[in-house]
Amino acid sequence: MKMIFDKNTLEEFTEITGVDISSVLTDYLFFMDYYHNRIVDYYKGNTKTADSASFQALNDLILTIESINSDVILNKDSFYRFNHWELLNYIESIRVNLMTISNVSKFLRSSIENGNFSQFIETKYSLKQNQTLEDVSDYVMNSSDAINDWSNIAFRNDLREEDYNTTSGKLLSVVFDKSGGITDIKSVVDNINGENMYGLDIYSKITFEDDDIKTLSYRDTMLQTIAILSELRRGGNPEFRVDGLQTNLIVGRDINSIAYPVIFRQLFNVFSTDDTIAAFSITDVKIEGDSLVLESGITTKYGDFLQVKIRP
């Protein structure tokens, strides 16, 4: 990166604010060239210990830029040339970039393991009924060697054979590799640990609560997502107009003439667009009054199994 501002503009900014902006810009460029990648490597798990100098440089720059922002507000009437505003815009872009870097662990979906950020995701998983450790390794963790990897789960949780059975609901600590399906989650910006892989969303019915827009918990966000996907009709999403059920497959049709295979396929396609959902299945088909009801089972990548009714 190179500074593109002439000497006069920088000197005028210094006269107005009392800040040696040339020095600040030089420090920022040095940070991006020398320290930035060290911070990213730490949050990627490429290095086990944080480089204190890198984080100190980041904190110092953030404090400096915030202070400059205050000075700019106080002297806003003194900036009158186009070059001044170009410089102010550049300073603001620096501020945004530094704040992004300070949250880079969330953008990288890093998780904390044993006090360090890692490429692995560790979370709690409740052993389901009739589910063995081999099942957890194979289906939940997407292991390529489930027959042997189940032993890693046992060792990690210090389990003896008598400590669990297929009906115990034992709470386990399990680890997901970044190469596994769970880290294909791109729709959530956070440090992925436990239920926060569902993300946080605004309540679909805009509501104010405690003088702010109501937001949902992680689990309620997942339930709302399922409801939205199950009710989506083709053309309802302006970005992906082919997603959703075709209304004419059901409306105005006799129960016996409904194209069930097409409905099932379209529902499967809709739910497969959400990267927090691992599996979707239709467990039963019912007629309640004049309505078609599909009993469905949804398995999330966190390992939850949710039973929902879909009324196409």
**Within a 10 A sphere around the Cβ of 163, how many other Cβ atoms?**
11
Q: Give the H/E segment covering residue 283.
A: strand 277-288
Domain co-membership, 214 together with 304: yes
Question: Is 192 inside a domain boundary?
Answer: no
pLDDT value for 206: 86
Question: Is 151 inside a domain boundary?
Answer: yes
Q: What is the pLDDT along the chain (312 residues), one digit of tens a residue?
A: 445 678 889 999 999 999 999 999 999 999 999 999 999 988 887 887 888 999 999 999 999 999 999 999 999 889 888 888 899 999 999 999 999 999 988 887 776 554 455 555 556 666 666 667 777 666 555 555 655 666 666 766 666 655 555 555 666 666 655 444 455 677 787 777 778 888 889 998 888 988 889 999 998 999 999 999 988 888 888 888 888 888 777 666 656 667 777 888 888 888 888 888 888 888 888 887 777 888 888 888 877 888 888 887
Domain co-membership, 147 together with 237: no
pLDDT value for 27: 94
Domain co-membership, 12 together with 103: yes
Question: Is 168 inside a domain boundary?
Answer: yes
> Which residues are CB-neighbours of 33 under 8 A, at least 6 positions away?
1
> Which residues are CB-neighbours of 135 under 8 A, at least 6 positions away?
146
Three-state secondary-structure class, residue 296: strand
How many Å apart are CA 99 and CA 117, to the nearest integer?
Answer: 19
Domain co-membership, 215 together with 272: yes
Domain co-membership, 115 together with 102: no
Domain co-membership, 126 together with 168: yes
**CA distances, 209 to each of 46, 177, 202, 285, 296 (Å):** 42, 38, 11, 38, 32
Domain co-membership, 77 together with 134: no
Question: Is 49 inside a domain boundary?
Answer: yes
pLDDT value for 178: 45
Domain co-membership, 234 together with 299: yes
pLDDT value for 33: 93
Question: Is 193 inside a domain boundary?
Answer: no
CATH, residue 255: 3.10.450.40
**CA distances, 9 to each of 13, 61, 208 (Å):** 6, 21, 46
Domain co-membership, 121 together with 101: no
3-state helix, strand and coil shares in percent for the chain, rounded to the nearest 5: 50, 20, 35
> Which residues are CB-neighbours of 138 under 8 A, at least 6 positions away?
146
Domain co-membership, 102 together with 128: no
Domain that holds residue 68: 7-107
> Which residues are CB-neighbours of 112 under 8 A, at least 6 positions away?
118, 191, 193
Through-space distance between the first and last CA atoms of the chain, rounded to whole angstroms? 54
Structure tokens at 106: 């969330």
pLDDT value for 115: 46
- 68, 92, 107: which is the final residue of a domain? 107
Question: Is 293 inside a domain boundary?
Answer: yes
pLDDT value for 28: 95
Domain co-membership, 178 together with 265: no
pLDDT value for 294: 86
DSSP H helices, the chain, are 7-17, 21-30, 36-44, 52-74, 82-102, 104-107, 133-135, 146-156, 218-231, 260-271
Question: Is 197 inside a domain boundary?
Answer: no
Domain co-membership, 74 together with 27: yes
Name the domain count of the chain: 3
pLDDT value for 161: 55
Pairing relationship of beta strands 171-177 and 208-209 according to DSSP bridges: unpaired
Of 296, 303, 283, 274, give the one whose Cα is nearest residue 126: 303
- The residue count for the chain: 312
> Which residues are CB-neighbours of 224 under 8 A, at least 6 positions away?
201, 203, 204, 216
